[in-house]
Structure 1
Amino acid sequence: MEGRRGKLHPAVARIREAVRTALADLPRQTIVLVACSGGADSLALAAATAFEAPKLGLRAGAIVVDHGLQADSAHTAETAAEQCRTLGLEPVQVRAVEVGGDGGPEAAARSARYDALRDAADEFGADVVLLAHTRDDQAETVLLGLARGSGARSLAGMAPVAGLLRRPLLEVPRATTAAACIASGLRPWHDPHNDDPQYKRVRVRHEVLPVLEEALGPGVTEALARTAGLLRADADALDVLAADLAETAVRHTEDEVVCDVGMLSTEPQAIRTRVLRQAALEAGCRANDLTAGHVATVDALITGWRGQRWIDLPQGVRATRRNGFIVLTPDSASGRKV
């Protein structure tokens, strides 16, 4: 951990600083949980949190989620938990989850993991759960959002703070977490799924980003992550305006979400489409499946109305214009025949 002259290794120092900054606003005695998979990113985060949290008067533990997707997953999870205990984190718990199939394997695993983390936070009275997403993860997320055509919110990437969740390492390169583990004598686990090209994120990591770096020069990953931060500030401001508009322009009935065309038609597109997207989500669309293209077709019921009958959206939601309103009907409530 220390160099030849007793200096703290730069990688360890950088991660500790990132964690210290992320936790600085928390009241003393706040319980913080680290989501630790046993990989280099989350182990480095766990080590830095174990060091910094007590100095801030915080209590720090760890949650290891066992997705059960590999034959030795229980052993891997327990090994990660034991390293967290050795670091001084308490409580440390392994939580086994069942991964469904909705939205594809990546989305299903993520959903199961986040549910487990929120349940653990409730059980232990934690106000914060730390996630180990790095600058590289952020760049990959931006590229995946660009490929989906999901709009500025998707290109804004992952937020440093999202309710219970905090991501201290979004400005830290993945190489730094690996170096910190080596310097600290930690033994990270390498998830074989991180090399499996059936996953889009893996292809972005090992095929797309290297090509971009070669064609455009070094610094592409950093630039993508920086772009996400800039877009996030704009998106946050527009989201606030859209939420204010939705208070008066959107209403809910027992079976439908209803949007007022008159109120929405006078608003800028950036605000109007945000209201429509949120209405579609509330009607039953999944965020990962609802693209900017879907929202644009619903928006055309306002801006390009030519008597269109309806728009079919993911998860069986249908958008129809009736009597000056956009009506979003869940498949389960429509009673329609196809």
Structure 2
Amino acid sequence: MAAASGADWTGPAWRVRAAVRAFRRAYPGVGDEVCVALSGGADSLALTAAAAAEFAEVTALVVDHGLQPGSGEVARDAAAAARGLGVGARVLVVVVTPDGTGPEAAARSARYAALDAARDGRPVLLAHTLDDQAETVLLGLGRGSGARSLRGMAAWDAPWGRPLLGVRTADTREACRALGLDWWEDPHNVDPAFTRVRLRREVLPLLEDVLGGGVAEGLARTAELLRGDDDELDRLAAAVSVAPDGTLDVAVLEPLARAVLTRVLRRWLLGRGVPSPTYAQITAIAALVTDWRGQGGVAVGGGGSAGAGVAEGSGRLVARRRHGKVVLEIDRAS
């Protein structure tokens, strides 16, 4: 990779830099010193160049997952390109341990953990683009997700910043060309075994063709609109208190709009030690409030601890309605 010489901050390159500048103005708490997660691809390389021009001190963090032949060389080249842009660079070698979530998710978890450990209290800029945002929303739509998923990625979710959510991937490539930067093409980005690759290369182009363009921008706009709605609903849900004994009062829950009620129940389950409450579980617990017919409890997980106020033991965790309360218990008879 060749470093930029005689930077040409016009056209797409300026759009990238302007996005970074706008991000810094929008979130002044980010400060003057940042890290950039650099893979060596066009998106992160263009972001690194723009960050170098807009922030006082930048450190590129290059994660080597070791999942592909030659990954070490790719990481070293990316670090060299960052240094050519006048920023510091560190290569972070990580071990990706399969955890049952799939290779993409496991690699992402390892990557974020490594970045968090290496950032030394500084924010980390990530090179997600408008195209990435559109794919995220489309995935959520296809999976029947609610606003929590369809809201997409946030521009600032400390310590992670995403200045390029309004920039197209095509612009980052053109920016690299204008700046004289050669980028690395990740073979995973063209491997149809990955769902996102098929969305990017097959589904989105088809939608753009059928709907006459503007689909990626429309999906990203949908995320922005839903984020505001979701934040307000979360605020309303957070105002509903849990009793000191960890129960929920049905009389308090009954008047709530369904969108608020389901959020209250999700927050309650998470706070009681249920790691990933499902749509079916939350809907069934909501029916204990809105459609009470004396039905039985709703199983929400395996045995163990369910937080303060729930006795220890083995068996299923079950949500039930008892004496005008929604309670979480361990069903030892299961």
State the TM-score, normalized to the length of structure 1.
0.84
Alpha-carbon distance between aligned partners in 2 of 1:64 and 1:271, rounded to the nearest angstrom: 41
Shift in Å, 1:269: 1.1
For residues 178-220 of structure 1, give each alpha carbon's deviation from its aligned partner in whole angstroms, at most 9, with x where no partner exists: 1111111212111122222222212211221122112111111
Within the candidate set 251, 256, 273, 1:262 is matched to 251
Within the candidate set 297, 304, 307, 2:291 is matched to 304
Amino acid at match of 1:12: A
Alpha-carbon distance between aligned partners in 1 of 2:73 and 2:333, rounded to the nearest angstrom: 50
Does residue 1:325 correspond to 2:294, yes or no?
A: no
Shift in Å, 1:109: 2.0
> Retained in 2: the 8 A contact 1:15–1:44?
yes
Q: Percent identity?
A: 49
Shift in Å, 1:291: 4.6
Within the candidate set 263, 268, 282, 1:295 is matched to 282
Runs of 4+ in 1 over 6 A off after TM superposition: 314-317
Q: Pairwise mapping of residues 1-338 of structure 1 onto structure 2 (< 5 A)?
A: 8-24=9-25, 25-26=27-28, 30-54=32-56, 59-121=57-119, 124-126=120-122, 128-245=123-240, 248-249=241-242, 258-286=247-275, 290-313=277-300, 318-323=317-322, 324-328=324-328, 334=330, 336=332
For residues 219-253 of structure 1, give each alpha carbon's deviation from its aligned partner in whole angstroms, at most 9, with x where no partner exists: 111111011111111111111121222xx1366x7
Amino acid at match of 2:201: H
Shift in CA distance, 307/69, structure 1 to aligned 2, threshold 3 Å: farther
Unaligned 5+ segments in structure 2 are 304-315
Amino acid at match of 1:169: L
Which structure has the larger Rg? 2
Amino acid at match of 1:47: A
Alpha-carbon distance between aligned partners in 2 of 1:213 and 1:63, rounded to the nearest angstrom: 35
Shift in CA distance, 51/258, structure 1 to aligned 2, threshold 3 Å: same
Amino acid at match of 1:326: V
> Retained in 2: the 8 A contact 1:85–1:92?
no
Shift in CA distance, 125/225, structure 1 to aligned 2, threshold 3 Å: same
Shift in Å, 1:293: 4.1
Amino acid at match of 1:125: G
Shift in Å, 1:335: 7.0
Amino acid at match of 1:94: L
For residues 32-63 of structure 1, give each alpha carbon's deviation from its aligned partner in whole angstroms, at most 9, with x where no partner exists: 01011111111110111011113xxxx21111
> Retained in 2: the 8 A contact 1:32–1:129?
yes
Alpha-carbon distance between aligned partners in 2 of 1:77 and 1:69, rounded to the nearest angstrom: 12
Alpha-carbon distance between aligned partners in 2 of 1:175 and 1:232, rounded to the nearest angstrom: 25
Shift in CA distance, 314/189, structure 1 to aligned 2, threshold 3 Å: farther
Q: CA RMSD in A?
A: 2.6
Shift in CA distance, 337/79, structure 1 to aligned 2, threshold 3 Å: farther
Amino acid at match of 2:190: D
Alpha-carbon distance between aligned partners in 2 of 1:175 and 1:285, rounded to the nearest angstrom: 42
Shift in CA distance, 226/82, structure 1 to aligned 2, threshold 3 Å: same
Shift in CA distance, 315/148, structure 1 to aligned 2, threshold 3 Å: farther
For residues 15-43 of structure 1, give each alpha carbon's deviation from its aligned partner in whole angstroms, at most 9, with x where no partner exists: 11111111234369642010111111111
Tell me the secondary structure at the aligned position of residue 61 of structure 1. strand
The structure where helix makes up a greater share of residues is: 1
Shift in Å, 1:266: 1.8
**Higher mean Cα deviation, 22-31 or 111-120?**
22-31
Shift in Å, 1:318: 3.9
Number of residues of Structure 1 aligned to a counterpart in Structure 2: 317
Amino acid at match of 1:274: R
